[in-house]
Amino acid sequence: MSEKETGKSTTSRLVRQIHDGNWLPHDEAESLRAELFYQRAVYAYMTMLPALNVIGMRDGSEAAFGSGYHVLPIWKDRMDSRTQVPTPNADVIYSMSYLDLRETGPLVVNAPANVIGMFTDFFQRTITDVGLIGPDRARGGLYLLLPPGYEGHVPGGYFTFTSSTYNVFLFFRTIMGRGDGVPDPAVGAAVAEQTRLYPLWAEEKDVPPMEFPNASPVRIDMMYPTDFTYWTKLKEFVDYEPVTAIDPELRGVLASIGIVKGRPFEPEDWQRTQLERAVETAPRMILANVQLGRPDRRNYYYEDRQWEVAWAGATAEWMQESYLDLDARSRFFQYAYSSAPAMNNHTTGAGSKYPYAIRDADGEYFDGTNTYRLHLPADIPAALFWAVTAYNVTDGTMPETAQMLPSTNGYYDLPKNDDGSIDIWFGAEQPEGVVDAAYIRTVPGRNFVVCLRLYGTTSAFYDQTWKPDDVVRVR
């Protein structure tokens, strides 16, 4: 019987759905192919952002200070807005270097005592914490970093770890001292300068002396690319690293946009158009996601406050109970870098917490034209120190104003209210009667983020007997 007689179709659903079982019109086929290429490029942008984030940092640093395991730039006078990097911390002393285990082989890092730091691979997956949460427990010690696939002898006496990429990011933070009502950066810089690195198998006479350039006064761009260079840098990275550094499925996505290890990257004109489109729109998509909020609201620290957690309440690897939170991870590496367990675990008196807010108490986005007040109740739960910083919303850089350090911290002799609480002010103009150390300048007409850092977080934060107030718009 025919379809007409039975009233039922004998043609398969997909045949009916796609052009009555025929090939597509040529123009439609080309359009769909371009759209699929674009979608794959967007996905590749988001998943590769952790690597491009640190590649941008490496390239900017090495252009300014040189390369090599013996070169360790230190922001000896604190990091300010002249350093363009995601969410820089003005309130510790930064030391950052970029190691190449393919060039050096096994590498020894003699870490000083009292470092707050980590080693990560170039996907910014933690190799190990260093310091109070690391295996040295703030006593310092010898770390041995092995390259991927290393099969040689591994001596004892080291904290030994294997990296999944040849490239390794060394990120140390050291604590400032207390001066006369102000921080003393020299204390933290002196600790950082005790760091030593050398290849395991090198003869001592062949190891160059360490270099510790002061990065603080240098205007430096350490941001990831925002143009087609994103893809050429990615291709260089894929070619350099071992195949095992990227899983086969993700390599398949990269291959679909022309990035294959060991093969030329020569996109046709229509492909280049979609790659350029993706590098423009993907960061806007990431920003839109965070702007509109998560339906599950698990990114909020409190039921009654605007403070959020960068890991969306999950692990430092962005794992939820049954899946990897891709949206949270891509947003993190758009405006930050260097995730590690010590930054997310509930470690009393040793770890760190980073509540941030993008909205005021009324739920409105912060606007640099307005004036705001942040009230911090007494007994801030930070055994080491606390700090408050303002950042640009798009990429986590510091807003560059006449105030080069858009930050304040507990090292300053800040005025206290009768109950021991502290008020911090934000705005384009310094409110009358507010001291310099309690004021953070903003850019008129530009949104911003407020970040509260708590180093050595104590129990009052975890059990929520202490909560920061919401930031309130005053005018």
For residue 109, give every residue at least 6 positions away whose Cβ sits within 8 Å of its Cβ, in sequence order, or none. 119, 142, 143, 144, 145, 170, 195, 196, 197
Q: What is the mean pLDDT of residues 100-126?
A: 97
Provide CATH 2.60.120.600 ranges for the chain: 295-473
Q: DSSP secondary structure string, 376-422?
A: E-SS-SEEEEEEEEEEETTT-PPP-SSSS--EEETTS-----TTS-E
Distances (CA, A) of 416 to 73, 379, 420, 434, 435: 36, 11, 5, 12, 11
For residue 197, the cross-strand partners are 109
Residue 227 burial class via C-beta count within 10 angstroms: exposed 0-12, middle 13-18, buried 19 and up? exposed
For residue 141, the cross-strand partners are 111
The count of C-alpha atoms lying within 13 angstroms of the C-alpha of 324, restricted to the half-sphere facing its C-beta, is 5
Residue 394 near residue 360 (C-beta atoms within 8 A) = no
Phi and psi, residue 150, nearest 5°: -65, 130
- Could you give the CA distance from residue 326 to residue 50 in angstroms, rounded to a whole number? 11
The four Cα atoms 305, 311, 314, 320 give a dihedral, to 10 degrees, of: 120
Residue 194 burial class via C-beta count within 10 angstroms: exposed 0-12, middle 13-18, buried 19 and up? middle
User: Which fold would CATH assign to domain 26-53+225-291?
Assistant: VPA0735-like fold (1.10.3360)
Provide CATH 2.60.40.1610 ranges for the chain: 66-220
The model's confidence at residue 341, banded by pLDDT at 50, 70 and 90, is: confident
- Type of residue found at 335: Y
Q: What digits encode the pLDDT tens for the residues 246-304?
A: 999 999 999 999 999 999 999 999 999 999 999 999 999 999 999 999 999 999 999 99
- Could you give the CA distance from residue 259 to residue 48 in angstroms, rounded to a whole number? 12
Tokens in use for 452?
């509260």
Sign of CA pseudo-dihedral 151, 153, 156, 160: negative
User: Is the pLDDT confidence value at 425 over 90?
Assistant: yes
Residue 129 near residue 118 (C-beta atoms within 8 A) = yes
Q: Return the HEC string of 216-244.
A: CCCCEECCCCCCCHHHHHHHHHHHHCCHH
Provide CATH 1.10.3360.10 ranges for the chain: 26-53+225-291
Q: What digits encode the pLDDT tens for the residues 23-80?
A: 999 999 999 999 999 999 999 999 999 999 999 999 999 999 999 999 999 999 999 9
Residue 357 near residue 374 (C-beta atoms within 8 A) = no
User: Is the pLDDT confidence value at 234 over 90?
Assistant: yes
Q: What digits encode the pLDDT tens for the residues 304-330?
A: 999 999 998 778 899 999 999 999 999
Q: What is the CATH number of domain 295-473?
A: 2.60.120.600
Q: What is the mean pLDDT of residues 236-245?
A: 98
Tell me which residue of 410, 408, 389, 412 sits closest to 399, measured CA to CA. Answer: 389
The count of C-alpha atoms lying within 13 angstroms of the C-alpha of 377, restricted to the half-sphere facing its C-beta, is 10
Q: What is the pLDDT of residue 7?
A: 60
For residue 378, give every residue at least 6 positions away whose Cβ sits within 8 Å of its Cβ, in sequence order, or none. 416, 419, 420, 421
User: Is the pLDDT confidence value at 1 over 60?
Assistant: no
Average pLDDT, the chain: 95
Q: What is the CATH number of domain 66-220?
A: 2.60.40.1610
The count of C-alpha atoms lying within 13 angstroms of the C-alpha of 356, restricted to the half-sphere facing its C-beta, is 25
Global pTM? 0.94
- Could you give the CA distance from residue 418 to residue 269 in angstroms, rounded to a whole number? 67
